[in-house]
Chains A and B, each alone.
Chain A
Amino acid sequence: MNSQFSRRAFLGTAGSVGLSGWLRSFAAETTLDPRRKRSCIVLWMSGGPAQTDTFDPKPDHANGGPFKAVETAVPGIRIGEHLPKIAGHMKELAVIRSMKTKEGDHGRATFHLRTGNMPQGAIEFPTFGSLVSNERANPDSDLPAYVSITPRGLAPDSLSAGFLGPRHAPLIVGGRTTEVGLNEVADGGLRVENLARPGSVSKDQATERLELLRDMQTEFLSSRPGTGTKSHQSAYERASRLMSDSAAKAFDLGGEKQALREQYGSSTFGQGCLLARRLVERGVPFVEVGLGGWDTHDNNFKQVQSLCQTLDSAWAALMTDLKDRGLLDSTLVVWMGEFGRTPGINPRQGRDHYPNAWSMVLGGGGIKGGQVIGKTGKDGIDVEERPVSVPDLLATICGALGIDQQKQNMSNVSRPIRVVDPSGKPIREALT
């Protein structure tokens, strides 16, 4: 352990710098750094968004429903009418309309999309964010390499670092929050559980406790070298670094201009997107933001319209904000859920689970924007051109992030497993 560093971390005495000047220079520094690798922000649409009402409209077919299709910034590409702001960013986005998967059950499909695998015996597959963390974690950073913001509705196995171990598990932010207003969010709707020192313990006391812990267990740690002691030491060090003023500041949205916060929208999802930008700006390689409620078996259109409003402001603000700060080229933005929804409309004005032909969107860094990839038929029931599988999609994301999809990691069953299943072929035309 670097004693200088850990002492600073343990004592929480990291120097604080004036916010405004610091932020600007920080952004400039990170984007100009040639060693900077691409980060990834995944907007995870839990429940499965209806492609027909968003990115694969069918206005000339009965399946299309009541929504119109509107022009985007790219002539010829039309999307659902309730995403007008995102339509303005089409030059930076590639829409994939030919996702073709097999699982129609939420849990299994989520696991499949997020790990690239179906459950297999005792193998503990890591979720994709953990795989990126494993490739990209910076040991000098006060922040973890994988942050998951409001991952509501996700089963533990879809948020697990699996055989990569807890070092690559996501740091979960605001896991239990419900939709709250802007001010409430500022007061802590989006926070890391147990990050704040308890009220009954003073700052000095907390510092003394940590010092005491460090001092008293030196002998035990040095007499028992190995993963167990090393990991314990590293977790406490990283946890206290996260508690440090500068890291905790990354989670403090209060420093953002009110106007910008409003652009993102007052939803937890919107503020979560803003938090995601703050984190990638500080070098966090993988951040996901969850937006639930897409499981629209009933009353699909009203619900989708409302969800789109939340989504449209937040996502468009994120694209603009990243661009303004020079971060868009170094940040891949992914929009997807676990599957799509039936092109046919059920008697309850709903759409049901549909993995056979659905849409997702890639944008920003590494992506050749302004195009549509793949095609479904007039009724939207089948993929007519260029079917894309889960491994294909993950291979494409690896391509954009510059991660070797062939790399093998040793699994818990002592069998090496590749980052992406070897069947995965990246969508070349989507990549720059």
Chain B
Amino acid sequence: MRTVHLLSVLVLIAAVGSATAGSPDPQILADRIDQHLSARFKEEKAEPSGKADDAEFLRRAFLDIAGRIPAPCDVHEFLADSSPDKRRRLIDELLDSPRYATHFADVWRTQLIPEVLASAEARYFQPGFEAWLRQRLRAGVAYDAMVRELLTIPIAGVRQSPESVFRDPERPNPLAFFAVKDARPENLASTTTRMFLGIQIECAQCHNHPFARWSREQFWNQAAFFAGIEREGDGLFAPLSEDTERHDLMPTDGKKKVRALLLDGKEPAWKPKASPRAALADWVTSPENPYFARATVNRLWGNFFGIGIVEPVDDFNDENPPSHPELLDDLAKAFVESKFDVRHVIRGITLSKAYNRTSARTHPSQDDPRLFARMGLKGLTGEQFFDSLALATGYRDRVADRGAFGRNAGTPRERFLREFAPQGKPSAPETSILQALTMMNGPFVTAATNVEKSSTLKVVCELPGLTLNERLEALYVIALGRKPSDSELKKLEDYVARSESAEEPRRLSDVFWMLLNSAEFRLNH
């Protein structure tokens, strides 16, 4: 018995040992982050805000990694847990959950094919593109491999028999990336450099910018890597072909053909028969590439703090220096050393003191968002917002509501995604009048805050044996992922006591309405 026990312990130790040997300790990265930020606090005489309490951290981590608020059981479990490493364990659990893949598929899709927000046609490609991203994220494919696959996805078609870009809407489909960009070399080149290298070269498309490092010629050099791609016919659904022998193209309004050259000015080693895209992808994702890792960690940082170390996150240029250059270097280094493991960087960021700070302002020095002296407020994506609202109100999309091509065009989720698509900077989220009216008077929230129609409210109001305070607390946990403060309870007791006890459910519905309409619910804080 004793031997068996010992043996299993030994096996466990060996397993843990090998795991840590394979992947670097994210705590080291987290400490580096805080060293760099603290150095700046000293220089600027800034006073960072205190540590966020467990509930604030829990909601933030859920929204940032799982894409929705925590369920009440998550809240109770986390608040009751007294072990010192519970935040670290939470992050690990969230990163291993299917919700991570779902949410980050949304995140990457928004950045890679923003066209789907504007164009109804492009939206047909969304399920397939997200399915491809989810599959890769779930399988833990390294970021560089994912990017290489995306850029080099074979286009098997030739001009006489081009390849279809759209067969089954639900089937994983990275070709969507090419299709929604009209398969145009200019669009593909500008997305590639902006997204993967943090360089906005498209401004050089028409003319040389006086301050920019990049020339018009270089823009067309990049576009030439995609020159062989041809769309046969009009519209996003038209099939594609590729002539892999083509390494040059004629710029719009140009007189002379421009050939494919890397941004470092070198001509890649062409492999026979291979698409020129392969040479571009190899260079872009190389550990030696000076831009790739930096651009990626900066995007990730921006995702978790609302504002990049270089901001905007995709505009690296001499006129727009990083707020913390050494921090950016360290993050990039850690990313390369982890073999481009996005989750390692996320662990490092979320374990840092910086990410664990409260968003409540405690000192005027915290007003400069680029010091990261307090957690900034972030907007929610349409998906984060609706999925949180659905969880809080107990709503489920019915399969019967699914429209053609899996687009659910008429479902509440689809309507909310359109209406609540984020606008403005992530660190300066805005709310429109129509959004406010939708939440105040719209049918979804009206039903969710009606005692007769809302299952959530019914349970909270009718579960026998609960005190009023417990019912109020339940609503806070459901909507805001925290317990109400004493002063909040006091005010709400007074509010409910305004009418007779028979009216209590109606008063509780008012409280639930108030919570769903609050800025605290609407924002990631």
Contact = CB atoms under 8 A, between A and B. Distances in A.
Contacts of B361: 223-225
Nearest to A208: B510
Contacts of A210: 440
A239 interface: yes
Interface in B282-341: 312, 314-315, 320
Contact of A205 (B312, B378, B379, B506): B506
Given A198-B443, A229-B377, A236-B440, A156 B117 contact: yes
Interface stretch (B38-46, B82-90, B151-159, B422-430): B422-430
A216 B488 contact: yes
B268 interface: no
B417 to A, nearest CB: 11
B519 A221 contact: yes
A230 to B, nearest CB: 9
A162 B423 CA distance: 7
A13 B305 CA distance: 41
Interface string B354-369: 0000011100000100
Contacts of A223: 360-361
A141 interface: no
A413 interface: yes
Interface stretch (B25-33, B135-143, B255-263, B431-439): B431-439
B523 interface: yes
B119 interface: yes
Interface string B114-133: 10011110000000000000
A156 B377 contact: no
A167 B432 contact: yes
B520 A209 contact: no
A169 B430 CA distance: 11
A155 B121 CA distance: 11
Contacts of B118: 119, 155-157, 160
A196 B510 contact: no
Nearest to A120: B202
B441 A122 contact: no
Given A166-B431, A209-B510, A216-B518, A224 B441 contact: no
A157 to B, nearest CB: 4
A193 B434 contact: yes
Interface string A108-127: 00000000000111101000
B523 A229 contact: yes
A213 B517 contact: yes
A100 interface: no
* Residue in A144, A217, A224, A414 whose Cβ sees the most chain B Cβ within 10 Å: A224
Between B423, B430, B433, B506, the greatest number of chain A beta carbons within 10 A of the residue's beta carbon is seen for B433
B437 A193 contact: yes
Interface size class of A (residues with CB under 8 A): 35 or more
Given A194-B442, A198-B441, A200-B446, A220 B518 contact: yes
Contact of A161 (B379, B423, B431, B442): B423
A160 B361 CA distance: 33
B486 to A, nearest CB: 13
A215 B120 CA distance: 41
A216 B359 CA distance: 18
A210 to B, nearest CB: 8
Contacts of A216: 488, 491-492, 514, 518
A323 to B, nearest CB: 31
A412 B422 CA distance: 12
Given A166-B430, A194-B437, A212 B360 contact: no
Of A160, A161, A226, A228, the most chain B CB neighbours within 10 A belong to A228
A235 B436 contact: yes
Given A156-B118, A198-B446, A229-B523, A121 B202 contact: yes
B424 A165 contact: yes
Contacts of B446: 198, 200-201
A64 to B, nearest CB: 31
Contacts of B519: 217, 220-221, 224, 228-229, 232-233
Given A236-B517, A239-B440, A171 B360 contact: no
Nearest to A119: B118
A231 interface: yes
B437 A192 contact: yes
Contacts of B202: 120-121
B362 to A, nearest CB: 9
Interface string A328-354: 000000000000000000000000000
B495 interface: yes
Given A160-B118, A200-B446, A224-B377, 9 more contacts: A144-B433, A198-B443, A209-B514, A217-B519, A226-B377, A232-B519, A232-B523, A413-B315, A414-B312
20 contacts: A155-B118, A156-B418, A165-B430, A166-B423, A166-B435, A169-B433, A193-B437, A216-B492, A216-B518, A217-B519, A224-B377, A224-B525, A225-B367, A227-B377, A227-B428, A228-B428, A228-B519, A236-B431, A236-B436, A413-B312
Going nearest first, the 7 A-B pairs with the smallest beta carbon separation are A166-B432, A227-B428, A239-B436, A228-B377, A235-B431, A157-B118, A194-B437
Interface of A: 107, 119-122, 124, 144, 155-157, 160-163, 165-167, 169, 171-172, 192-198, 200-201, 205, 208-210, 212-213, 215-217, 220-221, 223-229, 231-236, 238-240, 242-243, 412-415
